[in-house]
Each structure stands twice: as C-alpha cells, then as structure tokens.
A = this chain, B = another copy of it.
Amino acid sequence: MKPMGPVPPEFADGDVLTLGGRAATAWAAEAGTPCFVYDFAVIEARIAALRAAMPAGLDVHYAIKANPFGPLLDAIAPRVDGLDVASGGEMARALAVMPASAISFAGPGKRDDEIAAAIAAGVTLNLESEGEAARALAIAGRVGVAPRLAVRVNPDFELRGSGMRMGGRASPFGVDADRVPALVRQLIAEGADWRGFHVYAGSQALDADAIVEMQAQTIALAARLAGAAGAAPPLVNLGGGFGVPYAHGDAPLAIGRVGDALARALAGRPAALTSSRFAIELGRWLVAEAGVYLTRVIDRKESRGETFLVVDGGLHHQLAASGNFGTVVRRNYPIAIADRMRAAAAETVSVVGCLCTPLDRLGDRVALPPAVPGDVIAIFLAGAYGATASPAAFLGHPPAAEILAGAAGAADVPTGNAEP
C-alpha cells in the first residue's frame, strides 16, 4: 500500500461526499462522468481566510492560469482585487469581468498582437526582458497610448522548498535585478505609465518561513531597485508561492504566520516604498482544494494478485494526478469512494484511467473501501491545473464536463467544457 494525500477539510467529514450542498453522486448522475465539480464555498472560505490573515490594504490577485473556467472566473472576479493573465486568450476572459486597470499580463513569449491588444485595452504588461520592453514601447507608439508597463524582476533569491523554483538563477522570466533600474528609467523617460515591479520566485511552498523570507527579500529588493531607479513603484507584486497539500505528509501552509510577518514587513518598509501598494497573486492556493474530479468505475479486475479499478476518466482530464506533469516522483493525490467516505479501507487497489497507456494511473496501490463497477470515485485537489492542463484530445475520448457548484448567481447546472 502507498499513502495518499489528505482530503481537503471541507470534504473530509460526512460519509457521503457533498459538493455545493449536493451529493457528488447526484452531480455525477446529472452531468455524466467524468466531470469536475468546483465547490465555490471552498473558494470563498479560502478568500475569507486570506483576507483575515493578510494585512489590510494588501491586494489579492487571482492568476487565471490555475483555472480559467468561465463561471468560476465570473464568481471569483468580484472577490479579488486583480487578475493576472498569461496569454491574449486569458486576457480576453479577464477583460470581460474586471477593469483593465486591475489586470496584468505576464509571460516570456508575448506576441506583438498580444502586446498591442493589452496596450490598447489598458492592461498592465509585466515585461519579461529588455527586448519585450522595446517592442512594447514601439507598439505603444503606433497605438498612440502611454502603455501601462511593470517590470518583472528575476530576483537574486529563490523560494526555498518551492515545488517550482523561478528565481536565483538564469531565467526566461523577468529582467535580471541588476539591469532593472536602467530599464525603469528608460520606460519613464520614454513616456510609459510605469506600474512597478513583479517578482515571482517560486510556487507550491508549504513552509511559512520560506514564504516569509521570500516576501521580506522581495520587499528589500523592490526598495533597492526603486532607490537605484529613482522612482517609487506604484505597485509591488510579491508573487505567490502559497502551496496546498497534495500528498501524504503535506501540511497546510500557515497563512496566519505569513500574514503577520508580512504586516510587520510592510509596516517597517523602506522609505522608497512608502507610497507603494502591494499585491500577492495566487492561483492554485485559491482554487485547487475546491475542485473534485469524479469518475466512475467501469471495470474491476485482478491481475497477478493485484486489483485494478478501471475508471472512465484518466490523465487526459487530470494529468497532474497521474504524476506526469512537473513532478519527478509520483505521489498519490487523495482519493475516495464518493458515497462511502468513512467506510473502512478494506483493500489495496490501483485506480487506473481508461487510456490505453501505462501512464494513466490515478491512484497507485491505495487503500480504499471495496468498490465495484458503477461506483463514483472522487479524486481531490482537482481545482487547479486540471481540465486545461491536461491533454484533452489524447486518444479521442470526450472532454470532461465542468460544474461550478454553490455560487450565488452562477448556474448550478453542468456546463460543458467549451475550452478550445
């Protein structure tokens, strides 16, 4: 038997898994399986906890890339202060629900048409290089608008214990810190509306001390760069890095400690940043735990003494759970039988998807209550980097339905996946 991660607290209690006030099996019956159900109450709880923990006045941005599902974006937008996008496609979605002044666009390979659209709309571009800065200034000249430009900084530190390190080394992301002051001076001299700094040093960290240290380093770096540039940044985007527990042994990030330390850091911040606003941008932390992937057992088979539950879903919908996206060591996401959450684990089984490839393993030798064809399996932590971060066309199966459950004003009905 191999361990699996913890079921998110909101789903860990009842015997029947309930999403947005309704049994998971009822959602599965109505929408068909496989489907993703996102429980908006969990997202609201995360936002409320974050607001309570973080210092007053800190802006909270949602990074759309984690989950761009339309109804979910509609419901989140009014509850955050900004949206961060990573493509022209994401920008178009963001502009439908948020003023351009609260949208920023990061990413190392922005095409000219994306830059032009952002400048015309008034979206802030987080510049990833001097070359991109030159293109943005040239395009702004043609568009005839003072472009809103922030500088993404490749910091000289990284987020310790991060699942994905993005600082402290040569990087496609951002301008090396030592070259930033000259670039800021140039942007201002050329008439751009300089919006400040964006620093993103890593993601998926569960250690509060590591986040605290990174935020303190980021504030110090921003002050140093502002001093050297001779200009106060209107906004310092401190990045994210807040992780969620996916695997056995993972514990939730202590956001109270992060918020307390950040409050102290901002209260004592250097004079160069007195007038600056600060933001954090979170994707995964806001939405990952709210999502559950529901898939139905099609076959139960024995092979050489092992038992396999073959389900109608797979890595074409939830690649990350198969351990094939950005992870070196495969670890089991939390998995349960949706209507027998508290039944004793009575056997060790592997939960495999319907794809004809050995990569398609959603649970590797996990302990579960006995299950038979027809049972609905819940795979948790499916709210971020799920439906859109998976190879949906692989092997020609239908896409998964996506449902936002429990959002006031949002339709509590299945919505087909209309992603491209």
Write the residues of chain A forming the contact surface with B, with a CB cutoff of 8 angstroms. 64-65, 68, 85-90, 93, 106-111, 128-132, 154, 164-166, 169-173, 176, 298-301, 303-306, 308, 310-312, 314, 319, 324-326, 328, 350, 352-359, 373, 387-399, 419-420
Are A108 and B354 in contact, with the CB atoms below 8 A? yes
A251 to B355 Cα, complex, angstroms:
29
Are A87 and B171 in contact, with the CB atoms below 8 A? no
Closest 10 pairs between A and B when the two form their complex, measured CB to CB: A109-B354, A89-B396, A170-B306, A129-B301, A107-B356, A86-B356, A170-B304, A393-B419, A388-B393, A90-B396
Q: Which residue of B lies closest to A166 (CB)?
A: B358
Partner of A303, one of B171, B300, B326, B390: B171
Please list 8 pairs of residues, one from A and one from B, whose beta carbons are closer than 8 Å in the complex, sorted by A's number.
Answer: A64-B396, A87-B397, A106-B356, A110-B354, A170-B308, A172-B358, A388-B394, A389-B391
Q: Whole-angstrom distance from the CB of A352 to the nearest CB of chain B?
A: 4
Q: Which residue of B lies closest to A165 (CB)?
A: B358
Q: Whole-angstrom distance from the CB of A254 to the nearest CB of chain B?
A: 26
Q: Which residue of B lies closest to A326 (CB)?
A: B359
A308 to B170 Cα, complex, angstroms:
9
Q: Whole-angstrom distance from the CB of A419 to the nearest CB of chain B?
A: 4
A353 to B111 Cα, complex, angstroms:
12
Q: Whole-angstrom distance from the CB of A383 to the nearest CB of chain B?
A: 15
A170 to B302 Cα, complex, angstroms:
8
Are B298 and A89 in contact, with the CB atoms below 8 A? no
A170 contact set on B, CB distance < 8 A: 303-306, 308
Are A68 and B396 in contact, with the CB atoms below 8 A? yes
Q: Whole-angstrom distance from the CB of A168 to the nearest CB of chain B?
A: 9
A398 to B92 Cα, complex, angstroms:
13
A82 to B406 Cα, complex, angstroms:
49
Are A352 and B108 in contact, with the CB atoms below 8 A? yes
Q: Whole-angstrom distance from the CB of A159 to the nearest CB of chain B?
A: 12
